[in-house]
Amino acid sequence: MNVLVTGGAGFIGSHLVDHFVKAGAKTIVIDNLITGSEGNIAHHIDSGRITFLKEDVCNIDKISGEIDVITHLASPASPFDYLRYPIETMRTASLGTFNMLEIAKQKRAKFLLASTSEVYGDPEQHPQKEEYWGNVNPVGPRAVYDEGKRFAEALTTAYNREYDLETSIVRIFNTYGERMREEDGRVIPTFISQALKNEPLTIFGDGKQTRSFCYISDMVEGIIRAVQVGKPQPVNIGNPKEYTMLQVADIVRKLCLSTSGLKYLPLPENDPKKRRPDITRAKEVLGWTPKVDLNTGLIRIIEWFRRKDD
Ligand SMILES: NC(=O)c1ccc[n+]([C@@H]2O[C@H](COP(=O)([O-])OP(=O)(O)OC[C@H]3O[C@@H](n4cnc5c(N)ncnc54)[C@H](O)[C@@H]3O)[C@@H](O)[C@H]2O)c1
């Protein structure tokens, strides 16, 4: 099998590349490294098991050779990153997705879009089902990402309808695991890095806002199943167990044996108050449920953070 992974030098993409290489697929990675790192896939580049193209998906609309599957993950993903790169984020979601869909059309390849729970915005329904259309402020600061992904979903669906392309859309909920950057602003790497240094953990607002966290191996499994099944309706992939930020801070401090306190900062604009996937569709259509609980996943990533700094 010939696979193209965009954003393959990023956190989730590099784990997906590990999976494809292990499965014996001929793998091409396109990544401009705006938020990713060559280090995440260096082990495959050095052994000649993948082809790495350091390119922007906005600048490529042709590729030589056969491609059977495209998994399109390229996009800044953490709020820090997309607020720092607003125009790049919108270009990647629009032009970049358009280019990758054109390649899929030329090659008659299966196409998977990595979308996000952010398409639900600050949701008025809880938990979020795929049928819910969301509550996004189109001119708020987060819109560059939320509306970009909503556009990418619409474009992917249009290619499915217009050209009968086999497409899938996964709406990824907060995912964590090894290779997250400690400075990327997402809550788990931020808390771990602060706890290991015994510095105060940053809590935005009152810390009662909730998120659900999916460990990376579960996420990769969900994405692979979505590619295999190839159904065009979006599917939520995430862990439905919900935690407040204060609860996560407590678990991380305990697991790190940390003496850190808490530091409260104002809530960012349009920050969602609640986030939990309804995964009925993932269970029924993909036969997928997450297996790794938060404690187990945190122990693994904390261990990785410790080893990395040795
Ligand atoms: N991690 C999560 O919790 C989460 C949640 C929802 C959705 N997602 C989606 O999953 C995908 C991967 O996220 P991640 O957490 O691995 O983020 P990441 O920032 O670690 O990886 C994204 C990768 O895309 C690359 N990239 C960005 N713009 C590009 C462009 N124009 N051309 C080529 N490469 C480009 C970056 O360099 C990076 O390597 C993203 O599409 C993101 O929106 C992630």
- pLDDT tens-digit profile, the chain (310 residues): 999 999 999 999 999 999 999 999 999 999 999 999 999 999 999 888 899 999 999 999 999 999 999 999 999 999 999 999 999 999 999 999 999 999 999 999 999 999 999 999 989 999 999 999 999 999 999 999 999 999 999 999 999 999 999 999 999 999 999 999 988 889 999 999 999 999 999 999 999 999 999 999 999 999 999 999 999 999 999 999 999 999 999 999 999 999 999 999 998 877 778 889 999 999 999 999 999 999 999 999 999 999 886 6
Say how far apart CA 26 and CA 20 lie, in whole Å: 8
Other residues' Cβ atoms within 10 Å of the Cβ of residue 6? 30
Q: Which atom of ligand 1 lies nearest, measured to the CA of 179?
A: 20
What is the CATH topology of the domain spanning 187-208+242-274+299-308? UDP-galactose 4-epimerase; domain 1 (3.90.25)
What lies within 8 Å, CB to CB, of 188 at 6+ separation is: 176, 180, 213, 248, 252, 298, 301
Q: Point out which residues pair with 286 in neighbouring strands.
A: none
Where are the domain boundaries for CATH 3.90.25.10 in the chain?
187-208+242-274+299-308
Measured over the CA atoms of residue 141, residue 143, residue 145 and residue 146, the dihedral's sign is positive
> If you take atom 26 of ligand 1, which residue's CA is the nearest one?
74
By the 10 Å C-beta count (0-12 exposed, 13-18 middle, 19+ buried), 66 is classed as exposed
Widest Cα–Cα separation across the chain: 58
Q: Which helix (H) or strand (E) holds 265?
A: strand 262-265
pLDDT attached to residue 34 = 97
Residue 180 alpha carbon, nearest atom of ligand 1: 20
**Binding site membership of 99 for ligand 1 (Cβ less than 6 Å):** no
Q: Give the 3-state secondary structure of residue 303.
A: helix
What is the pLDDT at residue 19? Answer: 98
Nearest CA to ligand 1 atom 1: 175
- Measured from the CB, is residue 188 less than 6 Å from ligand 1? no
- Judge whether 4 and 104 are in contact, CB under 8 Å: no
Q: Which two tokens stand for residue 164?
A: 């009968």
Q: How distant is the alpha carbon of residue 15 from its chain centre?
A: 11
- Active-site amino acid positions: 145
pLDDT for res 287: 98
The architecture CATH gives domain 2-176+214-240+276-291: 3-Layer(aba) Sandwich (3.40)
For the chain, residues classed under CATH 3.40.50.720 are 2-176+214-240+276-291
Provide the pLDDT for residue 72.
98
Residues 229, 231, 235, 239, Cα dihedral to 10°: 0
Q: Please confirm whether the linkage preceding 127 is cis (ω < 30° from 0).
A: yes
d(CA 286, CA 281): 8
Q: Does the C-beta of 144 come closer than 6 Å to ligand 1?
A: no
Q: Cα(75) to centroid of ligand 1, in Å?
A: 4
Residues 231/168, Cβ–Cβ less than 8 Å: yes
In the block, residue with structure tokens 């607003």: 86
212 vs 244: CA distance, rounded Å: 9
Residues 6 or more apart whose Cβ sits within 8 Å of residue 249: 191, 201, 203, 207, 262
Minimum-distance ligand 1 atom for the alpha carbon of 175: 3
SS3 call for 61 = coil
